[in-house]
Amino acid sequence: MSLLEQVYRQVIMERSRKPRHRGTAEPTTHEKEGVNPSCGDELTLTLNVADGVIREARFTGSGCAISLASADLMADAVTGLPVEEALSLGATFRNFIRGEDPAVDLGELQALEGVRQLHARVKCATLAWLTLEAALKDHPVGAHPTS
């Protein structure tokens, strides 16, 4: 195993065992549940979005190491980003996991590069990102749709 592979594996294990963003965003403006039935991953993503910027992203739930590490890395990556940039980053990450080379530096998200070789685990790595997209596109917490 190369040094780079060892570092990536270490990031995934560290982030899955001791996630930095486990919990609930306060105040919660957006909330969405995500489930990956093929692996049993389940998470609830909460966001604090103000003035079009994600101020805080947190999650609760359970799942495999890839799913938990991806959720934690995602929360890190989108905190402080405008909503549109976070959605764009999500699309870039999903394409990266599916085998495309990113046009931007993904930073620590590149720790999940090995998942590209494990087709069955792509859903684990993308669950948090798909949940983020759904949370941002759904009605915010407490909002009432207009007719």
Alpha-carbon span 113 to 129, nearest angstrom: 15
Q: Please give the average per-residue pLDDT across 87-91, as a whole number.
A: 96
Fold of the CATH domain 3-137: Sufe protein. Chain: A (3.90.1010)
pLDDT bracket for residue 144 (50, 70, 90): very low
Residue 60 has pLDDT above 70, yes or no: yes
Query: Rounded CA gap, 64 and 70, in Å?
Result: 10
Short-list 122, 127, 29, CA closest to 72: 127
pLDDT in tens, 104-124: 889 999 889 888 888 888 999
The tens digit of pLDDT for each residue in 3-23 reads 556 556 788 888 899 999 999
